[in-house]
Structure 1
Amino acid sequence: MRAARYYGKQDVRVEEIEEPRVGPGAVKIAPAFNGICGSDLHLYHDGPLSPAPDEAHPHPLSGEHLPVVFGHEFSGVVEELGEGVTGLEVGDRVVVEPLMVCDECSACRSGRYNLCEKMGFIGISGRGGGLSEHIVVERRWVHPVGELPLDEAALIEPLAVAVHAVRHAGIGPDASGRIAVVGGAGPIGLLTAAVLRAYGLKTVVSEVSDVRRRKAEESGVADIAVDPANEDLAGIVREASDGAMADVAFDASGVSVVLDQLFETLGAGGRLEVVAIHTKPYTLNITGALTMQDREMGAAIGYAHDHEEAIRLAREGLVDLAPFITSRIKVDDIVEQGYEKLLHDRSEVKILVSMR
């Protein structure tokens, strides 16, 4: 079968590999669409980073070295069921929670498997990937999506990241009347705003890019879109909240100055949730920013038990994923029209790749 395999920095090759076979408790899937993620871009442009293995060090759970099949944000159709598999039928539309975990560490035993000490990702760390014609996955990670279109279903994985962050911040499905600020309108920022709107919050999205601000407005996930470089973000939030300021803010940018701006938008007792990965240290005046305002600060990573809620939001029309699909390409064009384009084109939100 054909698959796109990651060999290292700026080296992804579409080639023929052996087709996987179904074993007991596993499901064989024909991937339909695969989204390109920010982690894929980092791996392609910067070289192997954890949890990806390299030539010398295999991943501790998959046992695989480079090259590995790429692609972890994918949807597909069930082709074959292994012995003992229940709850699925051949032909079902599904998505994969692309994790590999040890089931032995304290995080796994407590149900927080997104914090597994040996965490790996299908499509990054081994065990196949969505950029292939066939993949075999443990039943536990396969989620049926009903009649949800397969292109939209490919966004369930990043939507689950947003759901996890919102839940981690203590926001549930009935939060009407509250105000949230989202800093950064990339894919995760937009999807976080979408979940917040689905839960009834009024959303203010802060983004310096004109193109991404327009996407936040046109997709309906932002009640107010603000350019923090040229507008007074805190002042706009103050006006929108009748002086109470925001109940919660989400950092989806990974930039320190955005954190500073978000703290300025929070009201007394508010919470700031970090969703982005920060590559540089951040200096915080704990007394001024947190203690004297009785505030909370938290951070969320990945997802655990969040895919079902993400699927529900999409299937019930509470989150419309279609506006975030900005391009569709074939796997043979993934470097030029995928990894290279996303490096420079801010108009792209999610590029979907198909094998056929």
Structure 2
Amino acid sequence: MKAARYYGQRDIRIDDLPEPQVGPGTVGIEVAWCGICGTDLHEYLEGPIFCPTHDTPHPISGETSPITLGHEFSGVVYAVGEGVADIAVGQHVVVEPYIIRDEVDTGPHSTDYHLSRDMNFIGLAGRGGGLGEKIAVQRRWVHPIADSVPLDQAALIEPLSVGYHAVQRSGAKAGDVAVVGGAGPIGLLTSAVLKALGVTVVISEVSDLRRRKATESGVADHALDPRTADVAAEVRRLTGGRGADVAFECTSVQVVLDTLMDALRPTGVLVVVSIWGKRAEFDMHKLVMKEIDLRGTIAYVNSHPATIELVESGKIDLEPFITGRIGLDGLVDEGFDTLINHNDSAVKILVSPSGKGL
């Protein structure tokens, strides 16, 4: 089978690999669609970060580079291993792509397995990836989805779960006002969760395309261009001078972080969703004087079932956020290059590893 493998910085190759072994307790999935994530772009430009090096194996997977990329994916079950009785061949599924130590409690009541020692991700630290034609995944991390959800849209459930967990971390509730810094995929999908919960959403974004996506998709009530609007002042105007209840930083850009601090009301909550590759400056005096609650968030924890329900019930429509569909051979030139150098022209680009979806 074909798979896109990460060898190192700016070095991704399409290799021919043996199909995975579907062993006891695992599920064999033929990948339908896989999204290109911002994390993949960081690995390509600056890595290895989450990916292991050539000579340092990941402590759980035991794998070194090269590894197959891709952690936002959907597919169809083609085989089930011994002991798997609750998933059938032909079923549509998505994957919660964790690599976690066997001794960690990942049960339905756990709230912290995503913070466990050496946690990493399928498609970044080994165990195959969604940018291969097939993959075998432990049953725990496989989530069935209704056939009524198109498989291309289903590939966005993983990043939507990131937004779901971020909203959970914020404590946002119906009637609140949220300001979201950045309308990339995570900013838009976080906004989608907020709207599904009845929150008024204000997005700040420089890209004309992404602002249009925010309003046309219905996930933002207001989409502001920070180059021409004073975002904090406009948020205060929209809230009668009070400020936003919650804010989500989805860019890893300093000026966005500063703007969100200004836009929040006293005792508001600021959630940092983006992965920062550098230290940020922070106005601690403002945090103290406004009693801002600053919270980090990473990935998701037992978030997929509730996220899938939002999609299956029709409360969230993922179709508007798909702006490109490509084959594996176009991964770098049509996918990575577009998202790195022309990201104002795209939101989520999906890859069909087998080409069947094209």
Q: TM-score range by the shorter chain?
A: over 0.9
SS in 2 for 1:102: coil
Pair 107,290 (structure 1): closer, same or farther in 2 beyond 3 Å:
farther
Letter paired with 1:102: R
* Equivalent residue for 1:325, pick from 298, 301, 322: 322
Q: Is the CA contact 1:342–1:348 (under 8 Å) kept in the aligned structure 2? A: yes
CA RMSD of aligned residues (A): 1.7
Letter paired with 1:253: T
Instruction: Determine whether 1:181 maps to 2:182.
Output: no
Could you tell me which residue of structure 1 aligns to residue 25 of structure 2?
A: 25
Q: Is the CA contact 2:22–2:81 (under 8 Å) kept in the aligned structure 1? A: yes
Alignment of 1:1-356 (within 5 A): 1-49=1-49, 51-104=50-103, 111-147=111-147, 148-171=149-172, 175-287=173-285, 289-345=286-342, 346-355=344-353, 356=355
Q: Is the CA contact 1:105–1:117 (under 8 Å) kept in the aligned structure 2? A: no
Distance apart, 1:106 and its partner CA: 9.2
SS in 1 for 2:76: strand
Gaps of 5+ in 1: none
Letter paired with 1:63: G
The alignment's TM-score, normalised by the length of structure 2, stands at 0.94
SS in 2 for 1:269: strand
Distance apart, 1:110 and its partner CA: 5.6
Distance apart, 1:48 and its partner CA: 1.6
SS in 1 for 2:226: coil
Which stretch shifts more, 82-91 or 289-298? 289-298
Q: What CA deviation, in whole Å up to 9, does each residue of 1:51-104 have, x standing for no partner?
A: 211111111111111111111110000111111113211111000111101144
Q: How far apart are the structure 1 equivalents of 2:69 and 2:279? A: 30
Distance apart, 1:313 and its partner CA: 1.1
Q: How far apart are the structure 2 equivalents of 1:64 and 1:242? A: 55
Gaps of 5+ in 2: none
Q: Is the CA contact 2:110–2:301 (under 8 Å) kept in the aligned structure 1? A: no
SS in 2 for 1:278: coil
SS in 2 for 1:189: helix
Q: Is the CA contact 1:107–1:116 (under 8 Å) kept in the aligned structure 2? A: no
Sequence identity percentage: 52
Q: How far apart are the structure 2 equivalents of 1:58 and 1:320? A: 39
The alignment's TM-score, normalised by the length of structure 1, stands at 0.94
Letter paired with 1:16: D
SS in 2 for 1:127: coil
Total equivalences in the alignment:
351
Distance apart, 1:180 and its partner CA: 0.4
